[in-house]
Amino acid sequence: MSTAPTTQAPRPQQAADAALHTALSRSARPPRAGPLSAALTFGWRGMYKVKHVPEQLLDVTITPVLFLLMFTYLFGGAVAGSTSQYLQYLLPGILVQTVLFTCVYSGVALNTDITKGVVDRFRSLPIWRPAPLVGAVLGDTVRYALAATVVVLLGLVMGFRPAAGVGGVLAGMVLVIVFAFGLSWVFTTVGLLMRSPSAVLNAGFMTLFPLIFLSNIFVDPSTLPGALEAFVGVNPISHLVTATRDLMAGVATAGALALVLSEAAALTAVFAPLTVHLYRGKD
């Protein structure tokens, strides 16, 4: 006569202990992640944040959408004779405005990471030290592309008809995104200097607002008083708007493009190392 062993179902506690021991017993250490792989992983993190917190994209998209609608239909006729004509002038500018405001969020996100402590974990990992920064800024370029697409699509619906067609519009978007890449290093620097995410947001918007308005986004600078016109002329945002407009109209000159690209490069050359330096010394 066989006595069947009474099989007891494992208690939940035992099962949990077993799972814990399995998890802890894995001791093989994978090879270190390379710099590019680490940076791209941080870019991936940025994407997921957009997916989970789409509000951060809405914030920076709704304002330009309102600006686009308001300026076109309210002031368009007065400024340019007709709303449709003004839209052709305004849209590349609004595109620039949208993407540049999105840049501020690079600094806000970095500051948030620091105040929440997650940066401590990243900094204690055996990875290429600037990877979190480079990855975040790379990930942000995808946000810029999304925001740019929203503006361009709305423009097309409203009657924006660029002479250079799809190619010109895409080239303009790429140029804006490249410039934004450079500018976002300014805001990561600000993000490391300020005490709270909202301080970064305020500082960013306070700096950008005058620069945006004192540019050629909304009006032709030749109608402005001399001193103001001179300022608008040297404002890099004006250079970017002009080059983008010209790309979309199919009349871009190599000189205008070179100016914008060199400004983007200069911003990166100054502020990327500064960001990395501040990040390392964040003690």
Instruction: Name the site residues for another protein (rule: CB under 8 A).
Output: 16-17, 19-27, 29-33, 37-38, 41-42, 44-45, 48-49, 52-53, 113, 116-127, 131, 283
Task: Give the C-alpha separation, 138 to 66, whole Å.
Answer: 27
Q: Token digits for 252?
A: 């871009």
Q: Closest separation between CB of residue 206 and another protein, Å?
A: 25
31 versus 255: smaller Cβ distance to another protein:
31
15 versus 156: smaller Cβ distance to another protein:
15
- The CB density around residue 258, as the number of other CB atoms within 10 Å, is 11
127 versus 243: smaller Cβ distance to another protein:
127
4 versus 283: smaller Cβ distance to another protein:
283
User: Are 244 and 95 within 8 A, CB to CB?
Assistant: yes
161 versus 282: smaller Cβ distance to another protein:
282
Q: Closest separation between CB of residue 21 and another protein, Å?
A: 7
Task: Quickly list DSSP for 20-40.
Answer: HHHHHH--PPPPPPPHHHHHH
Q: Closest separation between CB of residue 38 and another protein, Å?
A: 6
Task: Give the C-alpha separation, 210 to 227, whole Å.
Answer: 15
Q: Closest separation between CB of residue 41 and another protein, Å?
A: 4
40 versus 261: smaller Cβ distance to another protein:
40
Amino acid occupying residue 109: A
Q: Closest separation between CB of residue 28 and another protein, Å?
A: 9
257 alpha-carbon distance from chain centroid:
21
User: Are 238 and 216 within 8 A, CB to CB?
Assistant: yes
Q: What is the largest distance, in Å, between two alpha-carbon atoms of the chain? A: 109
User: How much is the CA Rg of the chain, to the nearest whole Å?
Assistant: 25
Q: Closest separation between CB of residue 11 and another protein, Å?
A: 14
57 versus 217: smaller Cβ distance to another protein:
57
First vs last Cα of the chain: how many Å apart? 74
Q: Closest separation between CB of residue 129 and another protein, Å?
A: 9
DSSP, collapsed to helix, strand or coil, labels residue 9 as: coil
- The CB density around residue 226, as the number of other CB atoms within 10 Å, is 7
